[in-house]
Amino acid sequence: MAANDLPTGRTLVADTVRRRLRIAAALALALTLALVWRFYVLQVSQYERYQTLSLDNHIRIQALPPVRGLVLDRNGVVLAQNTAVHILQVVPEKVDDLDTMLQEVDALVGLTPGEASAFRKRLKKHPAFEKILLKAKLDDVQTATFAVNEFRFPGVTLEAVLHRDYPEGILTAHVLGYVGRISERDQARLDASSYQGVHSTGKIGIEKQYEGALLGRSGFEQVEIDAHGRTLRTISRNSAVPGHSLSLTLDIDLQRVAREALGNRRGAVVAMDPASGEVLTMVSSPSFDPNLFVDGIDQNSYDALRALDDRPLFNRALYGRYAPGSTIKPVIARAVIDAGINPQERVYCPGWFTLPDSSRRYRCWRKTGHGFMNLHGAIEESCDVYFYEMGSRLGIDVMAKVLSGFGLGRITGVDLPQEPAGLVPTPEWKRASRNESWYPGEDLITVIGQGFLMVTPMQLARMTATLANRGIPVRPRILLSEEDSLSGEKISPPQAQASGQEADRVVDTELDQIIRAMAAVMHSPRGTGRASGRRSPYPIAGKTGTAQVIAIGQDEGYDESVLPEKFHDHALFIAFAPVEKPQIAIAVVVENGGSGAKVAAPIARKVMDRFFLKRLQRAALAEKSDVFG
């Protein structure tokens, strides 16, 4: 022991450490006593309080899911809402005999084989004390029947839940998207604390884009539940905050007209207000019923939808990539003027064009030729030979620049998820992606909107709006306004404040003569779109386009009657109206529609007619209320 040692330095040190060990031991003892006191307080002094909290009446803190925000069209028509439905839930450990219970429930309200097997699958995945879904969407009779008999089924509860509902269904499926059950992949991406008690999330479209605004905030409540898991009473409650309601720029009437005009064809229609970029119509056809996805679509139906050749799930308006065909000719014409070429210069069209040192004939759509054509006539009658000549003079770099300037090959910035950029080809691009050099012939293919050039209907509509704006680009948008559901306070989206237009651009007066040619397309006796411009009460500027889907050989003709439908040309059309002070810009693509003039242009005309009719009616109404008000 230290006491026997001589008082050397080492023992002095030893004494210090020993003293400290004693102090530390005393400290540890004191801290332990503090802990014991704490447990005494919890387990003895406050025992009764905690026992009530725990024993016969379990206090559960349960999340109150927020009500998802509504989505309305620009006139207040409901596009997405929440309706109450009844569901049956089961806490397995509270059921004495699951098989008997299932039989009796089946006898009472009926269970489909699918519901029963899905239930058994969930049973394996979840612990026995967790609630699992037995039957979704009971009808009124089933709900009433079960409610009367609920006492016979301990562990089975009938609950009313809110369920997302899309009243306009197929009209809005692509743009609005849908919500669905939160999947494992969603879980990895979403913040769990914001989704307490919430079982679904926006999967695509606006529902996904504005998930944050629509979701709202979960509340919670403390409830007492009895031994069967039934709620006895609510102790305290912190209400959920509902999600914001969104007004979209879409007009559901125009949406319906566009869809009906497309009929059962495959294609897309996008119309917007060129000044603000507000998207008035965005239709992709064929469509699907988004309500199927809300509760989780069953595998068979989903596979069936995906397997269809028509690809109804595919949003052609935003994701479809098409050769624009002749619809880009007005934009190319802008480059022609810019290059210092006299618009009055005439090019002779014999029906074909050849490059120097080549015998290959590039055909005009009119086999007999247009004769002498200047810029105006070449747009009006869509003469390919004039543009072949210009294309070979301009070269790909100049053309790529003007096409990019009108927003092709880049995203439009519309507020929808994962917009594709399309493609404006350049020699550098071709070298990088295919390791091939650019051929002069490809200038000619590009100038008539074929070849590698790929655009989306949304990009085409934006290009049209930019023409309508005399060169000022606009950013399309679908959210009109956001509103706090409780206070009614408007929250304007940040891009609305910037009015969508890029302020530093100035009006391009050189476009006027091109726009005059586009008006001639619709209203002159030789215009390619004259059939759709006829007797229009408002002047239209338009451009037709017909894009080949397959290459036609040198000596073959294109004969629609012998080709299978999927090889028919795509029909395209762009237009804005009125020519001066335009209020609507529209792009129509009809897959394998054949002729842009015959198939795509009438669809645009129907949508525009409806648009201006509504304007007139509203103006008349306003006038009346002025008189009587």
Partner 1 sequence: MFSGRALHLDGPLLIALLFLSAFGLIVIFSASGEDWEVMVRQGIRLGISLVAMVILAQVSPETLRRLSPHLFLIGLAALLGVLFIGVVAKGAQRWLDLGLVRFQPSELMKLAVPMAVAWLLTRGRLPPGFMMILAALMITLIPAGLVVVQPDLGTGIMLIISGMIVVFLAGIRWHHIMMLLAALAALAPFLWSRLDGYQQQRVLTLFDPFADPLGSGYQTIQAQIAIGSAGTWGKGWLEGSQSHLEFIPERSTDFIFAVFAEEFGLMGVLMLVILYLFIVGRCLVMAYNTRETYSRLLMGALALTFFFYLFVNLGMVSGILPIVGVPLPLVSYGGTSMLTLMAGFGMIMGMHARRRLMT
Please report, as ranges, the residues that interact with partner 1 according to CB under 8 A.
10, 13-14, 16-21, 24-25, 28-29, 31-32, 34-36, 38-40, 42-44, 46-47, 49-51, 53-55, 58-59, 61, 63, 127, 129, 193, 196, 218, 220, 222
Which of 326, 382, 532, 595 is an active site residue?
326
Nearest approach, Cβ of residue 54 and partner 1 (Å): 3
DSSP state of 217: B
Nearest residue (CB) to partner 1, 119 versus 195: 195
Q: What is the distance between the alpha carbons of residues 299 and 281, in angstroms, rounded to a whole number? A: 31
Residue 65, both tokens: 């899911």
CB within 8 A of 469, min separation 6: which ones? Answer: 274, 275, 501, 507, 582
In the complex, minimum distance from the CB of residue 219 to partner 1, in angstroms, rounded to a whole number: 9
**Residue 467 beta carbon to partner 1: minimum distance, rounded to whole angstroms:** 50
405 with 424: CB under 8 angstroms? no
Dihedral pair phi/psi, residue 169, rounded to 5°: 40, -110
CB closer to partner 1, 1 vs 84: 1
The distance of Cα 130 from the centroid of its chain, to the nearest Å, equals 35
Q: How far is the CB of 233 from partner 1 (least distance, A)?
A: 17
In the numeric block, the tokens 């956001």 are attached to 482
**Rounded to an integer, what is the distance from CA 605 to the centroid of its chain?**
25
Q: Compute the half-sphere exposure of residue 359: CA atoms within 13 Å on the CB side of its CA.
A: 2
Residue 95 C-beta: closest distance to partner 1, Å = 16
* Shortest spacing between CB 130 and partner 1, in angstroms: 8
CA distance 227 to 223: 13
Question: Of 220 and 612, which has the nearer Cβ to partner 1?
Answer: 220
Quote the least distance from Cβ 189 to partner 1, whole Å: 14
Q: What is the chain's Cα-based Rg?
A: 34
Reduced to 3 states (helix: H, G, I; strand: E, B; else coil), residue 178 is: coil
Q: Which is nearer to partner 1, 27 or 620 (CB)?
A: 27
Give 435-447 as a DSSP string.
--PPPHHHHHHHH
Give the single-character DSSP code of 240.
P
End-to-end CA distance of the chain: 109
**Longest distance between any two alpha carbons in the chain, whole Å:** 126
Of 8 and 300, nearer to partner 1 (C-beta) is 8
Which DSSP string do the residues of 288-305 spell out, in sequence order?
--THHHHT---HHHHHHH
Peptide bond into 286 cis (omega under 30): yes
* Alpha-carbon span 441 to 470, nearest angstrom: 31
Residue 28 or 620 having the CB closest to partner 1: 28
236 is a catalytic site residue: no
Nearer to partner 1, 42 or 148 (CB): 42
Question: Cβ 222 to partner 1, closest distance in Å?
Answer: 7
Q: Strand pairing partners for 85?
A: 161
**Least distance in Å: CB of 223 to partner 1?**
12
3-class secondary structure for 466-503?
Answer: HHHCCCCCECCECEEEEECCCCCCEECCHHHHCCCECC
Tokens of 206: 């606006």
Q: Would you say 34 or 107 has its CB closer to partner 1?
A: 34
Q: Cβ atoms within 10 A of the Cβ of 290, count?
A: 27
Tokens of 323: 């050769």
Q: Rank residues 9 and 564 by Cβ distance to partner 1 and give the closer one.
A: 9
Supply the residues annotated as catalytic.
326
